[in-house]
Amino acid sequence: MNDIPSFIELEFCTCPNGCVPRDEHVLSGRDHLHGLEGTYTIVECLTCGLQRTNPRPTRDTIGYYYPSTYTPYNHSQERKKHKSNFAYKLAVLLGLENRCIKKKPPGNLLDIGCANGAYINEMQDKGWKVKGIEFSSHAENNVVNSNLDILYTDIYDLRDLGKYFDVVTMWMVLEHMHAPTKILKKIRNWISDDGILVISIPDANSLCRRIFRDKCYDIQLPTHLYHFNKKSIIRVLQESGYEITNVRWQKNPNTIIESILIYTNKGSLINSLFRWIKNSRKALFLRAILSFFLGITHQSARIEIIARPNIRRKI
Ligand SMILES: [Zn+2]
């Protein structure tokens, strides 16, 4: 029997690519981040292969699953501390420093789902003119710099911001959106003619996902409403009026480490070992090797895509 709280309103959704409704059950699972109630199901569209959480909480009630303890609202700026040291520069050189915009000189940057603003604050320090969009009041309460230009609103309600931005970023955000194609089409009009969209998403095709199933860290039910893989995210971007310029797997060990921590019992030898690998500064080199290996084998479970508006395509 499902124990979804009665105040959560559920809605059924069809494939956002407009496919004939023909789905296959993938798995059912629960919230592992905060232990909140409810079992949710992921289905796969048999036409295009895009997976989605169905049914899902409505936009009005899903906020319950984003409590004040939600990690992105509380990210520290630890990265900044390493900015000038050797480890940081080496990480950039080896591609281990994710969320780096290497291909553009500083310009106008919009970060959608900017949480507590740690990323745009860092980019502002690097010379970018930054703006953020965030819907959570919990994130607003934890903002790292109160002078940052952040619009606290629901992006669905936001006015046209103009064809203004050289870079629009969405770091692990698109999978949280109820209508990803609608949002992608909207922000396409905010990207300048030679601008780019940079997104990262969890990879539903990863070995990690297949091994740990509903215990995989990046399942994150029910806040992850879509579960993309390389093929399905490319299709969604193309359908939304973009052309792809680069796809890579981030060099990042977090998904596999967190999945092992969810899967194993607290206090067990493996759990303690991976907790140490996750947290200890002494394990920095080990984390770097693991990150590098997971990235080059496409098994980090995090895909990063750079795309640009396809001006030949009318949407
Ligand atoms: Zn489909």
Taking the centre of ligand 1 as the mean of its atom positions, its distance from the CA of residue 291, in whole angstroms, is 32
Interacting residues of 76 by C-beta distance below 8 A, sequence separation 6+: 118
Contacts of 188 (CB under 8 A, 6+ apart): 197, 240, 241, 242, 309, 315
Give residue 235 CA to ligand 1 midpoint distance, Å.
10
Surrounding residues of ion ligand 1, Cβ less than 5 A: 15, 17, 19, 45, 47-48, 50
- Centre of ligand 1 to C-alpha 179, Å, is 13
Task: Using the CB atoms, write b or e for 142-156: b if 16+ within 10 Å.
Answer: bbbeeebebbeeebe
pLDDT at 240: 94
For the record, the structure tokens of 210 come out as: 């297949």
CATH topology of domain 10-72+85-309: Rossmann fold (3.40.50)
Q: Give residue 101's pLDDT.
A: 78
The Å distance, Cα 299 to ligand 1 centre, comes to 24
Specify the pLDDT at position 76: 59
Q: Report pLDDT for 77.
A: 53
What is the per-residue pLDDT for 271?
Answer: 95
* Residue 86 CA, ligand 1 centroid: distance in Å: 46
* Cα–ligand 1 centroid distance for 315 (angstroms): 18
Separation of 26 CA from ligand 1 center, angstroms? 14
Q: What is the pLDDT along the chain (315 residues), one digit of tens a residue?
A: 579 999 999 999 999 888 999 999 999 999 999 999 999 999 999 999 999 999 999 999 999 999 888 877 776 555 555 455 676 666 766 676 777 777 788 999 999 999 999 999 999 999 999 999 998 888 888 899 989 999 999 999 898 898 889 999 999 999 999 999 999 999 999 999 899 999 999 999 999 999 999 999 999 999 999 999 999 999 999 999 999 999 999 999 999 999 999 999 999 999 999 999 999 989 988 998 999 999 999 999 999 999 999 987 777
Q: What is the pLDDT of residue 69?
A: 84
CA 254 / ligand 1 centre spacing (Å): 29
Q: What is the Å distance from ligand 1's center to 273 Cα?
A: 41
b/e map 171-189, b = 16+ CB within 10 Å = bbbbbbbbebbebbebbbe
**The pTM is what?**
0.90
- At 99 the pLDDT is 73
Given this model, what pLDDT does residue 183 score? 95
Q: Where are the domains of the chain?
A: 10-72+85-309
CA of 229 to the centre of ligand 1 (A): 13
Neighbours of 137 (CB within 10 A): 13
Q: Tell me whether strands 129-134 and 108-112 are parallel, antiparallel or unpaired.
A: parallel
* Crossing angle between the packed helical segments 269-279 and 284-296, to the nearest 10 degrees: 90
